[in-house]
Structure 1
Amino acid sequence: MNDQDRTSIHEAMEQQTISISKAGIVTTLQARCGIIAAANPIGGRYNSTAPFSANVELTEPILSRFDILCVVRDTVEPAEDERLARFIVGSHSRSHPESQSKMTQDSMEVEHDSEQAETQGTNGAASRIKEGEIPQQLLRKYILYARERCHPKLYHLDEDKIARLFSDMRRESLATGAYPITVRHLEAIIRISESFCKMRLSEYCSAQDIDRAIAVTVDSFVGSQKLSCKKALARAFAKYTLSRPGKGANSQSQRRPTAVMS
């Protein structure tokens, strides 16, 4: 990233504005939007023995402005590799009109298999096959509705827990040489909790939303560390990601989405 782009993205992420001075026109444009950025690791492969900041050519001020850092590694997993290969081949097949008849036949076979699975008692798997994915148009409408209609308010905020988390993350950041933890990360926890609240179309952020936001923040922080200290940090920060009592046996799997893929 050159110096001009770095200056522009600093202003956009911090002030949510873009300043323009060209052809005698001096103005400021609003840039209130989310930013999703992707960067390739230095050398083409992520080095697990080095922290996140040493793997990408981005300055620490820019990294501190992102709410979540996700490390996506190309690991060898036969099941996932097969699923990815089927998806790519299927995408190419659907792009050719002559393959429509074959696709129709395959769809009928899949539907027949799902009916057989349902009659055999595998209701969970059969229902997932029958329902399929959420239509893209419906998902777009849902997100638009949540963005325009939902304006969450903080109902319950565990200030002591957030303060302890911030203190521990700053201490471990200095000890491990990771990207610096600043006050922006406190604001990130609030924004993430509001996002979880909007997903439920709720008007108030609950304690569960705060816990999920903290879990995502911890996963992002631990996942960006070097391999030698990642396990120790995961154990040290486990107290912040444990589910609250009385939430049921499935709360552990429901409370935290995958923020870091490794």
Structure 2
Amino acid sequence: MVGDPGLGKSQMLQACTNVAPRGIYVCGNTSTSSGLTVTMTRDGGEYALEAGALMLADQGCCCIDEFDKMPSQHACLLEAMEQQSISIAKAGIVCSLPTRATILAAANPAGGHYNKSKTIAENLKMSSPMLSRFDLIFILLDQPDEQLDSLLSKHVLGMHVGNRAGRSNPGFNVSVDTTTDEHTLIDRLRVNGEILDRLPHSLFRKYIAYAQKYVSPQLSEEANEVLKDYYLLLRKQFKIGDCTPITTRQLNSLIRLSQARAKAELREEVTKEDALDIVEIMKFSLVDIFTDAHGVMDKTRSQNGTGMSTKSQAMELLRLLQRRSDVETRSMFSVKEIKELGDRVGIAKEKFYSILESLNIQGFLLHKGQSNYQLMHIKI
């Protein structure tokens, strides 16, 4: 979860820790690499291994808050999140320890507010290998909403007025209607005024533990076709430009999420409806990631990249050239001047000349002489 401060991300992580049969909650700004993985200690003349948070959360859930405050610890999580194990080679001890844990992480964007014109990697200042290991990425924005603000204020004030009735029923009346397949997942989870009978944490924890131990769903033929078609569609849509590469990681994510969806209802078979629900969740996550500042879904944006898409970078370069042209009342620019502006935009050196050639072909910059280009005054 990536989003603005004060939206309750930490509360959600703590709630997941409370209902998980084996849940560990850690805060990123107070954790070390050894605290997350494994620590080597010396007791007398012998060395011993002490388990870290990921090992303690084996076959459970590890919730990491303030994930953006621990850039030096990300390297130790790469192997654990990919291979579900940690390899140790210290003090003559060489071994591999299991870390089959689900990692839920919450992070705040750099600067205090999420900027939709930037990619997730730019907002978090996080490496692309780490971001690619998460199955789902959700962006939470602090946007004014009269109904939600009213419900939130009623809940917060009800916790401080000493009214037990207000505490037990804070005003979040949610109804989950699963009786019909005609509605989408969002429609079935939408608030409609009915009160949902909530399960106690202890009972819900037992339910999850039973599902994890005794239920092992397998994909049906219909679910297999739905996941395969959606994966091929993603491969087709995100194969050009600087977009995020779609690999078998995304296919494995779809399979894991579909099995979890069936396991939540204690079913041994993943149905077509389960696969369709997971596809809808994945689409919701992708829409959040690839929507730019203007509310337009740009599939050439890269969630893992270190800059804007090539198209956005080229448009920003033209805006800077147009601004300088208006100030200095000239339209001729040298390649060196254009390159300096390209560095300000964040254009990589290996992509600069290809972008320059593309702008020349499109007629925005006309090649004049050996190293000069003329800016055409075109409305961008």
Q: Which residue of 2 aligns with 1:214?
A: 279
Paired with 1:45 and 1:180, the residues of 2 have a C-alpha distance of 27
Answering whether residue 158 of structure 2 is matched by residue 61 of structure 1, we say no
Distance 1:21 1:81, change over 3 A: farther
Answering whether residue 115 of structure 2 is matched by residue 16 of structure 1, we say no
Q: Which residue of 2 aligns with 1:223?
A: 288
Alignment identity in percent?
A: 31
- How many angstroms does 1:92 deviate by? 4.7
Whichever residue aligns with residue 164 of structure 2, its letter is M
Whichever residue aligns with residue 103 of structure 1, its letter is R
Structure 1 contact 53–60 (Cα < 8 Å) conserved? yes
Could you report, residue by residue, the CA deviation over 1:199-220 in whole angstroms, capped at 9, with x for unpaired residues? 1110111111111111111111
Taking structure 2 as the reference length, what is the TM-score of the superposition?
Answer: 0.49
Q: Compute the RMSD of aligned alpha carbons.
A: 3.0
Q: Which has the larger radius of gyration?
A: 2
Q: Which residue of 2 aligns with 1:180?
A: 245
- Equivalent positions of 1:100-179 (< 5 A) are 102-103=163-164, 125=193, 128-129=194-195, 132-157=197-222, 161-173=226-238, 175=240, 177-179=242-244
Could you report, residue by residue, the CA deviation over 1:10-45 in whole angstroms, capped at 9, with x for unpaired residues? 100111112234454433221001011112112111
Paired with 1:148 and 1:159, the residues of 2 have a C-alpha distance of 24
Structure 1 contact 18–30 (Cα < 8 Å) conserved? yes
Paired with 2:164 and 2:85, the residues of 1 have a C-alpha distance of 48
- How many angstroms does 1:79 deviate by? 1.9
SS across alignment from 1:20: strand
Paired with 2:167 and 2:295, the residues of 1 have a C-alpha distance of 48
Paired with 2:129 and 2:167, the residues of 1 have a C-alpha distance of 50
Structure 1 contact 17–32 (Cα < 8 Å) conserved? yes
Q: Which residue of 1 aligns with 2:180?
A: none
Answering whether residue 147 of structure 2 is matched by residue 86 of structure 1, we say no
Paired with 2:98 and 2:131, the residues of 1 have a C-alpha distance of 22
Paired with 2:121 and 2:244, the residues of 1 have a C-alpha distance of 6
Structure 2 contact 212–263 (Cα < 8 Å) conserved? yes
SS across alignment from 2:198: coil
Structure 1 contact 21–27 (Cα < 8 Å) conserved? yes
Distance 1:107 1:156, change over 3 A: same
Structure 1 contact 52–226 (Cα < 8 Å) conserved? no
Gap runs ≥5 in structure 2 = 1-69, 171-191, 300-380
Distance 1:176 1:68, change over 3 A: farther
**Structure with the largest fraction of strand:** 2
- How many angstroms does 1:172 deviate by? 3.9
Structure 1 contact 13–65 (Cα < 8 Å) conserved? yes
Whichever residue aligns with residue 2 of structure 1, its letter is P
Could you report, residue by residue, the CA deviation over 1:217-252 in whole angstroms, capped at 9, with x for unpaired residues? 11111211133464577xxxxxxxxxxxxxxxxxxx
Distance 1:62 1:232, change over 3 A: closer
Gap runs ≥5 in structure 1 = 94-98, 111-123, 234-262
Structure 1 contact 169–181 (Cα < 8 Å) conserved? yes
Could you report, residue by residue, the CA deviation over 1:136-178 in whole angstroms, capped at 9, with x for unpaired residues? 1121111111111110011224555544433442454455744
Structure 1 contact 64–179 (Cα < 8 Å) conserved? no
Distance 1:140 1:59, change over 3 A: same
Task: Say which is worse superposed, 176-185 or 65-74, in terms of deviation.
Answer: 176-185
Distance 1:139 1:152, change over 3 A: same
Structure 1 contact 146–199 (Cα < 8 Å) conserved? yes
Paired with 1:179 and 1:232, the residues of 2 have a C-alpha distance of 11
**Structure with bigger RCO (C-alpha 8 Å, 6+ apart):** 1
SS across alignment from 2:203: helix
Taking structure 1 as the reference length, what is the TM-score of the superposition?
Answer: 0.68
Paired with 2:295 and 2:167, the residues of 1 have a C-alpha distance of 48
Answering whether residue 258 of structure 2 is matched by residue 197 of structure 1, we say no
